[in-house]
Amino acid sequence: GAVVSQHPSRVICKSGTSVKIECRSLDFQATTMFWYRQFPKKSLMLMATSNEGSKATYEQGVEKDKFLINHASLTLSTLTVTSAHPEDSSFYICSAGQNIGTQYFGPGTRLTVL
Amino acid sequence: QKEVEQDPGPLSVPEGAIVSLNCTYSNSAFQYFMWYRQYSRKGPELLMYTYSSGNKEDGRFTAQVDKSSKYISLFIRDSQPSDSATYLCAMSAMIYNQGGKLIFGQGTELSVKP
């Protein structure tokens, strides 16, 4: 199957700082990537759809100015959590779409905001 | 009513048992069906993919889709302790580059006891 990587796997930051998470498709080109958030023992919540070379599409209730998404190339999408607060602490997972309808997920990034 | 319903479990079985996991859905437009396995603190891993109705087998895993009943299943034969994980069903009506998004079930937590 296709391989998607995420970096970093874990990050701890102070309240008010910004954190950037990278998502890379390693062995295929991904014109569309997705960003999800997952709370403990809960399913995945789609935050936004990231399209290469264009603005991301955010789901209802997701603050676009807080969660900045950039998809500058066919293999890289980034999520920046700006002015992070403790309530932003969560598990963030990206995925890359395949043209048969599947998505391949990265290993996730655990963000802890102190 | 949620678009996709999945019993969250937890489900505990002895090693070697046959496991049956199920999801029901309400949107008759869904035509892409997936099962993902997620280990604790990891990203989801694609296990099975089915387009439209039918059965698909891969090793110990069998996926079934019954569109007339809006019901999908995943069977695990000869279950192993390493199968202990959360299993998520996911489905979509369109592929991602047509605006399709994955709709997830709540996930079923499976524990296989040695």
A43-47, long-range: CB < 8 A, 24+ apart: A43/B88, A43/B104, A43/B105, A43/B106, A43/B107, A44/A93, A44/B44, A44/B88, A44/B104, A46/B101, A46/B102, A47/A79
CA B53 to CA B63: how far, in whole Å?
Answer: 10
pLDDT surpasses 70 at B97 = no
Q: What is the pLDDT of residue A1?
A: 65
Q: What is the pLDDT of residue B9?
A: 85
Q: Do B51 and A108 touch (CB under 8 A)?
A: no
What is residue A10's three-state secondary structure? strand
| B90 CB neighbour count, 10 Å cutoff | 28
Q: What is the pLDDT of residue A5?
A: 95
Q: Show the tokens assigned to B89.
A: 């069903």
Q: What is the pLDDT of residue A103?
A: 87
Angle subtended at Cα B51 by Cα B47 and Cα B57, rounded to the nearest 5 degrees: 45
Residue A73 pLDDT grade (very low, low, confident, very high; cuts 50, 70, 90)? confident
Give the nearest chain A residue to B99 (CA atoms).
A49
| A3 HSE (CA, 13 A, CB side) | 3
CA A1 to CA B8: how far, in whole Å?
Answer: 27
A47 CA to centre of own chain: 8
Round the average pLDDT of chain B to a whole number and report it.
Answer: 93
Q: Do A105 and B44 touch (CB under 8 A)?
A: yes
Is cis: bond before A40, omega within 30 of 0? no
Q: What is the pLDDT of residue A34?
A: 94
Q: What is the pLDDT of residue B61?
A: 97
Contact residues for B15 (Cβ-Cβ < 8 A; gap 6+)? B79, B80, B81, B112, B113, B114
Q: Do A44 and B32 touch (CB under 8 A)?
A: no
For A101, the closest of B36, B100, B107 (CB atoms) is B100
CA B42 to CA B21: how far, in whole Å?
Answer: 20
